Amino acid sequence: MATVFIQKRNGKKGPSYAVRYAVPISGRKKHYKSFKRYKQAQSEANDLRAILDSGKLPQRESRALNLLTFSEVAESLRTEWSLRLKRGELSKVTVEGYGILLRSICREFGDRLLCKISQEEIEHLRDSQIDKKSVISANRFLTMMKFIFKHGLKIKATTENSARSIKLLSEKEHERTRFLLPPEIEKLVQASKKTRAKYYLPAAILLGAEHGASRQEVLTLRWCDVNFEYGEKGLITFYRTKNKRQRTELLMPRTRKALLEWKAHLESKRGKKVGKEIKYDFVFCRIDGRPIQDFKRAWWQALHIAGIKNFHFHDLRHTFCSNLILSGANLKDVKEMIGHSDITMTDRYSHLTLDHRALVQSNLSSHYSRL
């Protein structure tokens, strides 16, 4: 029978019990694990004895926790993302998006030890996002928590993944279809001219409402993507990182005018900086050329002035699609113009195909009249 014994140790914090064993061939005494309670040590000693009797040597694992806060684990995860970015495994836009989301969650859990954050707290965070924003936002927060806990297990900041068993919510069941009709769009554009972002926000709104541009497509749009000289209208090209699709469209008149006004404003301001050449690529940038990161505050201010409630910038994409349908376009047209990868994503607007249904009903009426 294998030699396994328990050695009692008296320390400043009280007694502990070390399980030790003799290596079968050399007889050398080795430490295995330590426990605060004798019964735990005795149970582990019995298991170890069975392992040694089977002819195997025990695999020692350190159970010591790295008592790291949520912010410290988040910083470690950011370092990993930076390495993956250098290897080309993640895009710059993805890493920046992850970073924004992570900073937001750090405000909630930053100073808390990761191992002390419970499943109930994570579920509460997810549910609060449903009320504040949307189901999609709630799922993004939950996904980020899953990333954090998976990384926390890797660096031994926790022994349990409190986020693993929490399921993502069904986005299909909570799909938003809120949209604005033309008079409301005009009202929102006029309201945006009363905000601090009055020079560029009208153009951003019209890009969303008349071209279905997402916030990411708006903020990453470059002047080289806009051709004002093509025909009478001009061309604009969008690239959506979410599905890696590119689409090119004719510029809508109001959008073209708003972009030209914004460009003239930028050039006017920069012309006053004598002797200092300013290079800029992004359409939505500051006077010094730095890209604008976000315009949430100005957006909510414009909504308040316009008296529009429960409306997100992303809903401008729904506005674009819905008004396309109402103006006579079919679902296939909408799919191509919005850049959906699958027609099932466009099906949510099928209930708005009024002209087509009116024609079908008219044919049915004629059919009945002949009876």
Tokens for 128?
Answer: 């609060």
pLDDT digits (tens, 9 = 90+) for 202-241: 999 999 999 999 898 999 999 999 999 998 889 999 987 7
pLDDT digits (tens, 9 = 90+) for 153-190: 999 888 889 998 898 887 665 566 788 999 999 999 99
360 lies in some domain: no
Is residue 221 domain-shared with residue 316, that is, in the same domain?
Answer: yes
Is residue 203 domain-shared with residue 319, that is, in the same domain?
Answer: yes
What are residue 17's DSSP bridge partners? Answer: 8, 35
* Spatial distance between the Cα atoms of 235 and 276, rounded to a whole number of angstroms: 31
334 vs 138, residue with greater confidence: 138
Q: Looking at the predicted structure, is the pLDDT value of residue 53 above 70?
A: yes
Is residue 101 domain-shared with residue 219, that is, in the same domain?
Answer: no
Percent of the chain with pLDDT over 90: 35
How many domains in the chain? 3
DSSP letter at 5 equals: E
81 lies in some domain: yes
Is residue 205 domain-shared with residue 313, that is, in the same domain?
Answer: yes
Tokens for 138?
Answer: 């709630």
Residues 6+ apart with CB under 8 A from 131: none
Is residue 189 domain-shared with residue 271, that is, in the same domain?
Answer: yes
**CATH number of the domain that residue 251 is part of:** 1.10.443.10
Is residue 133 domain-shared with residue 229, that is, in the same domain?
Answer: no
Is residue 143 domain-shared with residue 263, that is, in the same domain?
Answer: no
Tokens for 288?
Answer: 């010094």
**Predicted pLDDT of residue 243:** 66
Is residue 191 domain-shared with residue 107, that is, in the same domain?
Answer: no
**Predicted pLDDT of residue 80:** 94
Is residue 78 domain-shared with residue 29, that is, in the same domain?
Answer: no
Count of other CB atoms within 10 angstroms of residue 238? 21
**Predicted pLDDT of residue 274:** 47
**Predicted pLDDT of residue 363:** 66
362 lies in some domain: no
**Predicted pLDDT of residue 205:** 96
3-state SS class at 164: coil
Amino acid at 319: T
162 lies in some domain: no
Q: Where are the beta strands (DSSP E) in 192-277?
A: 226-227, 235-240, 245-250
Is residue 128 domain-shared with residue 256, that is, in the same domain?
Answer: no
Q: Contact, 319 vs 208, CB < 8 A?
A: yes
Tokens for 234?
Answer: 């001009």
221 lies in some domain: yes
331 vs 295, residue with greater confidence: 295
The domain in which residue 129 lies consists of 70-154
For the chain, the average pLDDT equals: 84
Q: Where are the beta strands (DSSP E) in the chain?
A: 4-11, 14-22, 29-35, 226-227, 235-240, 245-250
Tokens for 148?
Answer: 């954090």
**Predicted pLDDT of residue 67:** 81
Which of 9-13, 37-41, 189-193, 280-284 holds the top average pLDDT? 189-193
Residues 6+ apart with CB under 8 A from 272: none
Confidence of residue 138 (pLDDT cuts 50, 70, 90): confident
Q: Looking at the predicted structure, is the pLDDT value of residue 197 above 90?
A: yes
356 lies in some domain: no
354 lies in some domain: no
Q: Where are the beta strands (DSSP E) in 1-157?
A: 4-11, 14-22, 29-35
Confidence of residue 371 (pLDDT cuts 50, 70, 90): low
**Predicted pLDDT of residue 13:** 77
Average pLDDT (68-78) is 92
Is residue 45 domain-shared with residue 113, that is, in the same domain?
Answer: no
DSSP letter at 10 equals: E
Confidence of residue 340 (pLDDT cuts 50, 70, 90): confident
Q: Looking at the predicted structure, is the pLDDT value of residue 145 above 90?
A: yes
Q: Looking at the predicted structure, is the pLDDT value of residue 355 above 60?
A: no
* Spatial distance between the Cα atoms of 142 and 263, rounded to a whole number of angstroms: 40
Confidence of residue 314 (pLDDT cuts 50, 70, 90): confident
Q: What angle do CA 47, 50, 53 make, to 5 degrees?
A: 150
3-state SS class at 331: helix
Average pLDDT (54-60) is 66
Residues 6+ apart with CB under 8 A from 132: none
